[in-house]
Amino acid sequence: MWKLARSAAPSLRQVRRFSAAIPGPCIVHKRGTDILHDPWFNKDTGFPLTERDRLGLRGLLPPRVISFEQQYARFMESFRSLEHNTRGEPYNVVSLAKWRILNRLHDRNETLYYRVLIDNIQDFAPIIYTPTVGLVCQNYGGLFRRPRGMYFSAKDKGEMMSMIYNWPSPQVDMIVLTDGSRILGLGDLGVQGIGIPIGKLDMYVAAAGMNPQKILPVMLDVGTNNEKLLKDNLYLGLRQPRLEGDEYLSIVDEFMEAVFTRWPKAIVQFEDFQMKWAFETLQRYRRKFCMFNDDIQGTAGVALAGLLGAVRAQGRPVKDFVKQKIVVVGAGSAGIGVLNMAKHAVLRMMGSCEAMPAQNPFWLLDKFGLVTKDRKDLDPAAAHFARGSGPGEIEGLQEGASLLEVVKKVKPHVLLGLSGVGGIFNEEVLKAMRESDSPRPAIFAMSNPTMNAECTASDAFKYAGDNIVFASGSPFQHVDLGNGKVGHVNQANNMYLFPGIGLGALLSGAHFISDGMLQAAAECLASYMTDEQIEKGILFPSISSIRHITAQVGAAVVRAAVAEELAEGHGEVGMKELLDMSQEETVDYVARSMWYPVYSPLVHEK
């Protein structure tokens, strides 16, 4: 059942207190300049004199010791002056300049980098994550200075089992893997897509407190079908068309075997794979390895939380979800993932395993328009949502009907875009949403990055009306509606779930990620907002509380794994301890497991 009571949760201060406990010593096997050049251990001018002596650093740094707080303040001052000095310059120039200054810190001193990221997540998420990460991927060749993560290419076939041991960290908990074939809404960017696993893992550190020494961004380079990149002499990936069929799968198989041989307890998140491989690899590995596909499963949970919020925003009980009319634009991995999860929620609410309500509540469109059973070569994944003819169908809505026609005839409660097509919710479509059967129509323009959003926030309020609830995948400013009224902009992005799914799966020690664990994550997010917030159109929490949300989501995932008898525990906290924990204790445990960036005393060991 869908629970809407807010769960007992530790305050943000508590989460921070647990995480910021006095740091234990950190063993380092290097000395001297090797430490200064290692961002995991480097403290720049922050090394105390005693440590400089112990680690052979004396004389390698200017004599004055600068405290962490001073280093932090100095970085923030440089960042703010960069913001000031680039005011009025084009968006791309400013965004990349901001990304560069953060990236330089990331390359130099991870402790300081992650602290500024955590403390300023609202300002910095749009730089290290969507939308700027899209721009970074597009310009990767020119921006590349130092490698980050690992690259496994089609040329490495047969070598991956040994290559995986080239990674310097003895333990890896979380891997984000892409093949670069569908980077945000930007298409096939080949090897340049590595920016996405890097950005997602930065969110893992910021939101879930994953230890940066235990994360690994991975690019699986099987070629690219992007003609421009293939012709580019400076392109850094394999200049060959993408592998297909069994050749492709054998590369992914080999990588997965290598990873789980070295780190049997790691979690692998598949990210930004083109649809066919997204579904196929999920099917292939989900019971064999601890993995999930974020675009299919993470997005589905976030969208479902938003859809349930949209019901509540109308002043209706959540169970009325089954009566909502939902138009989904985009029949790709994300759109179909959302519909599958929404359909299961409807069936659960109706207490049924199979029969949908007499009025099928979903309409699906792709690049050819409305998807119906008359479609030739109907994709099997979309077939469940193809409209038929007869009772429950709207007269005159035929195969391939345009978005405008569908919106006008269906008068949906929700219009949800996961098409990757910027501006497709145009003035006419948005105006048609004024005739929605909902007193508070919901418009979710979830495609990324910003230029690919189906509409802007201001257009949504301007054309569809002040009473809408609005969410977008990339951030927009809240909209000034005049007379002191504000149109609230929600960010409906899988970042609210994937960190908690990964952390919860890790701490539970489950061998695979079940539907129940994913459902628990979605339910937790759905119940996070109070009725007062929902009434104001606030369907998702502020990103500034993302660690707090992730502690809750992670705990929900752990508890679902325990309930399904999948949990085996992690480290010193075994199955029995997990079983004995109350909900509150589980949240505490998850929060306490989060890494928090402070300088640890370094101890040299040969």
Ligand X SMILES: NC(=O)C1=CN([C@@H]2O[C@H](COP(=O)(O)OP(=O)(O)OC[C@H]3O[C@@H](n4cnc5c(N)ncnc54)[C@H](O)[C@@H]3O)[C@@H](O)[C@H]2O)C=CC1
Which positions from 430 through 459 interact with ligand CC(=O)C(=O)O, judged by CB under 6 A? 448
**Chosen residue from 218, 334, 539, 556 binding ligand X by CB under 6 A:** 334
CB of 186 to ligand X, least distance (A): 8
Least separation in angstroms between residue 161's CB and ligand X is 30
Type of residue numbered 263: W
Q: Please report, in range form, the residues annotated as the binding site for a divalent metal cation.
A: 271-272, 295
Minimum distance from residue 247 beta carbon to ligand CC(=O)C(=O)O (Å): 25
| Length reported for the chain | 606
Which of 427, 430, 386, 389 is CA-nearest to residue 407?
A: 430
CA distance 486 to 545: 21
Applying CB under 6 A, among 416, 418, 432, 469 the residue interacting with ligand X is 418
Closest CB to ligand X among residues 205, 304: 304
- Active-site annotation holder among 43, 98, 200, 214: 200
Nearer to Mg ion, 295 or 588 (CB): 295
DSSP string, 340-387: HHHHHHHHHHTT-SSPPPSS--EEEEETTEE-BTT-TT--HHHHTT-B
Token duo for residue 16: 């921070």
Under the binding rule (CB under 6 A), the answer on residue 424 touching ligand X is yes
Q: Which is nearer to ligand CC(=O)C(=O)O, 109 or 494 (CB)?
A: 494
442 counts as binding ligand X under rule CB under 6 A: no
- Total interface residues for ligand X by CB under 6 A: 30
Rounded to the nearest 5°, which phi and psi values hold at 414?
A: -135, 135
Considering only 51, 254, 272, 523, the residue that binds ligand CC(=O)C(=O)O (CB under 6 A) is 272
Of the two residues 322 and 455, which places its CB atom closer to ligand CC(=O)C(=O)O in the complex?
Answer: 455
| Secondary structure (3-state) at 471 | strand
Helices (H), 474-574: 498-508, 515-526, 531-535, 546-563
125, amino acid identity? A
Rounded to whole angstroms, what are the CA distances from 44 to 33, 65, 308?
11, 9, 48
Q: Which residues 112-131 are close enough to bind ligand X by CB under 6 A? A: none
List Cβ neighbours of 258 (8 Å cut-off, separation of 6 or more). Answer: 160, 161, 163, 164
For ligand CC(=O)C(=O)O (CB under 6 A), the number of binding residues is 9
If phi > 0 it is left, if psi is from -120 to 50 it is alpha, else beta; for residue 474 that is: beta
Between 111 and 224, name the residue whose CB sits nearer to ligand X.
Answer: 224
Query: Using the rule CB under 6 A, which residue among 103, 109, 419, 508 binds ligand X?
Result: 419
Binding map of ligand CC(=O)C(=O)O across residues 158-197, x = CB under 6 A, - = no contact: --------------------------x-------------
In whole angstroms, what is the distance from residue 217 CA to residue 149 CA?
A: 5
Could you give the string, one character per residue 241-280, with x where binding to ligand X holds by CB under 6 A and - elsewhere?
A: ----------------------------------x-----
Within a 10 A sphere around the Cβ of 541, how many other Cβ atoms?
18
Element (H, E) at 101: helix 91-108
Report the candidate in 403, 400, 396 with the shortest Cα–Cα distance to residue 386.
Answer: 400
Binding positions for ligand X, 457-516, rule CB under 6 A: 473, 492-494
Can you give the C-alpha Rg of the chain in angstroms?
Answer: 24
Binding partner selected for residue 421 from Mg ion, ligand CC(=O)C(=O)O, ligand X, none, CB under the kind-specific 5 to 8 Å limit: ligand X
Cβ proximity to ligand CC(=O)C(=O)O: between 19 and 448 the closer is 448
Distance, CA of 222 to CA of 181 (rounded, Å): 9
| 195 touches 147 (CB < 8 A) | no
271 vs 366, which CB is nearer to Mg ion? 271
Among 394, 391, 381, smallest CA distance to 327 is for: 394
- Minimum CB–partner distance for residue 421 and ligand X (Å): 4
Residues with Cβ within 8 Å of 14's Cβ and at least 6 positions away in sequence, in order, are 588, 591
Cis peptide, bond prior to residue 217, ω within 30 of zero: no
Tokens standing for residue 156: 């490495």
Which candidate in 43, 98, 114, 129 is catalytic?
Answer: 129
Q: Considering the rule CB under 6 A, would residue 295 count as an interface residue with ligand X?
A: yes
Q: Which amino acid is at 68?
A: F
Alpha helices in 193-351 (DSSP H): 195-208, 227-231, 245-262, 275-285, 299-313, 333-349
200 catalytic per annotation: yes
Binding segment toward ligand X, per CB under 6 A, in 114-122, 352-360, 418-426, 558-566: 418-426
Instruction: Give whichever of 281 and 493 is closer to ligand CC(=O)C(=O)O, judged by the CB atom.
Output: 493
Interface with ligand X includes 333 (CB under 6 A)?
A: yes
Going residue by residue from 84 to 123, which x/- string records binding to ligand CC(=O)C(=O)O, judged by CB under 6 A?
Answer: ----------------------------------------
Q: How far is the CB of 81 from ligand X (least distance, A)?
A: 32
> Rounded to an integer, what distance in angstroms lies between the CA atom of residue 282 and that of residue 152?
19
Q: Which residues are annotated as a binding site for (S)-malate?
A: 182, 448, 493
- List the interface residues with ligand CC(=O)C(=O)O, window 483-522 (CB under 6 A): 493-494
With CB atoms as reference, the residue minimizing the distance to ligand CC(=O)C(=O)O is: 448
Nearer to ligand X, 35 or 328 (CB): 328
Q: Which of 297, 299, 308, 334 is nearest to 469 (CA)?
A: 308
Interface with ligand CC(=O)C(=O)O (CB under 6 A): 130, 184, 272, 294-295, 448, 473, 493-494
Interface with ligand X (CB under 6 A): 182, 184-185, 275, 295, 299, 302, 329-335, 365-367, 418-421, 424, 446-448, 452, 473, 492-494
Q: Which residues are marked as active site?
A: 129, 200
